[in-house]
Chains A and B, each alone.
Chain A
Amino acid sequence: MNFMNFGAQLPGATELGLIYAVAALGVYLTFRVLDFPDLTVDGSFTTGAATGAVLISSGTPPVLAIIVAFLAGAVAGSITGLLHTKGKINGLLASILMMIALYSINLHIMDGKANVPLLGIDTIFTPLENAGFMRNSWVGSLILAAWVLLLVVVLVAFLHTRLGLSLRATGDNEQMSGSFRVSTDGQKILGLAISNGLVAVSGALMAQYNGAADITSGIGLIVIGLASVIVGQALFGQRRVWQAVLAAALGAVIYRWVLQIAMAVGLDPADLKLASAVIVVAALLLPRLSFVKNLRANRARTRQEDALADLVDATDESHPAAAMPAGAEIKGQNNA
Chain B
Amino acid sequence: MLEIKNLAKTFFPGTVNERKALQGINLTLQDGDFVTVIGSNGAGKSTLLNMIGGRLRPDVGSVSIGGRNVTKIAEHKRARWVGRVFQDPMAGTAPHLSVEENLAVAMGRTRMRNLLPGVSGKDRAFFKEQLASLELGLENRLKAEVGLLSGGQRQALSLLMATMTQPEILLLDEHTAALDPQRAALVSQLTGAIVDRDKLTTLMVTHNMEQALQLGNRLIMMHEGRIILEVDGETKAGMTVKDLLGEFDKLKGGGVSDRTLLQ
A contacts, CB < 8 Å to B: 158, 160-166, 168-169, 172-173, 175-184, 304, 307, 310-311, 314-315, 319-321, 329-331, 333-336
Contacts and interface: CB of A to CB of B under 8 A. Distances in A.
A175 B56 CA distance: 13
Nearest to B77: A181
B116 A311 contact: no
A336 B189 contact: yes
A321 B140 contact: yes
Given A165-B118, A172-B97, A333-B137, 18 more contacts: A160-B118, A162-B112, A163-B115, A165-B101, A165-B105, A165-B108, A166-B108, A168-B94, A168-B96, A181-B76, A181-B109, A304-B148, A307-B144, A310-B144, A315-B137, A320-B137, A330-B150, A330-B153
Interface size band for B: 35 or more
B76 A169 contact: no
A162 B135 contact: no
Secondary structure at the A interface, as helix, strand, loop or mixed, is: helix
A238 B117 CA distance: 21
A334 B150 CA distance: 14
Contacts of A173: 90-91, 93-95
Contact of B94 (A160, A177, A336): A177
A181 B108 contact: yes
A176 B115 contact: no
B70 interface: no
B23 to A, nearest CB: 26
A173 B112 CA distance: 20
A81 to B, nearest CB: 16
Tell me which of B53, B82, B114, B141 has the highest count of chain A C-beta atoms within 10 A of its own C-beta.
B141
10 contacts: A162-B104, A166-B113, A168-B96, A172-B96, A176-B92, A177-B105, A183-B76, A329-B153, A330-B150, A334-B189
Interface in B142-163: 143-144, 148, 150, 152-153, 161
